[in-house]
Amino acid sequence: MAKPPIRTSPLPRNLATTGTPRSGTTPPPQRFPSQQADSAMPLSSDPCQAAHIGERPFTGDPASPLDVAAWRHDERQRLRAERKALTPAMAVSVTDRIAACLTELLAPLDASRLIIGASWPIGGEPDLIPFLTTLRQRGAILSLSACVKPPAAMRFRRWTPNAPLERGLWNLPVPPASAGEVTPNLLIAPLLGWDDACNRLGFGTGYFDRTLDHMAPHPFAIGVGLHSARLSTIHPLPHDRRLDLIVTECGVEAGSPPLPSRRGMV
């Protein structure tokens, strides 16, 4: 029996924010609405004011895949719990600030030459669908990831806002195969954790690493997540692939912004 299509509806969220972070700089302190209203939330919880790293100390052998996997398992649980603890107002503010930073980063580029690869947001990830819609309005081609033959690399199927989606692997919304496949030149990758070397900690399935290995030419890859998800290192292993840029609600955290002359993005 064919799986019923998933109809997407417009998400009319205003992407404009005050104090838009500039590339490579730390924006001025900005209090989340929920922090202003909730007296139980300490003032020091403004994410861009926090410099601490809350990871569990790593006591194993960094060359041992088993030791690294055990440490990452615990870190994923911690990071997922912290992200889940965000109030709805905080989650919206985080998303809007990330979208504002991405908007500024990509403003110099000719959007009509961009082929954007993204994923439908799950598990509290920033909902960048409204931001992607603005890129489509500027002429960019949009695509969403689909796991077609696990554990092979993901494919990217062309997508336009409000087009019908179907249920894919793990019941996630994906464009139908009839939408056609594209090869992105700019990839936006959600993450659970990150480090200053642009290493990404995801859900642990390895799909993004295998996808980056599979894609030719290699896309410019931007990881998006929380400032508080910074790790001193993810203890990278040979199969881990670095991203080009890390963006959080506090702006560009690591890497180099995309240049107009790079990878056809002019």
pLDDT tens digits for range 176-202: 999 999 999 999 999 999 999 999 999
> Is residue 55 a contact partner of residue 73, using CB atoms and an 8 Å limit?
no
Break the chain into its structural domains and give their ranges: 60-255
Is 60-255 in CATH node 3.40.50.10420? yes
CA-to-CA distance for 200 and 79, rounded, in angstroms? 13
Q: What is the pLDDT of residue 11?
A: 30
The mean predicted confidence, pLDDT, of the chain is: 81
40 — pLDDT class (breaks 50, 70, 90): very low
Quote the pLDDT of residue 262.
54
Q: Which amino acid is at 185?
A: N
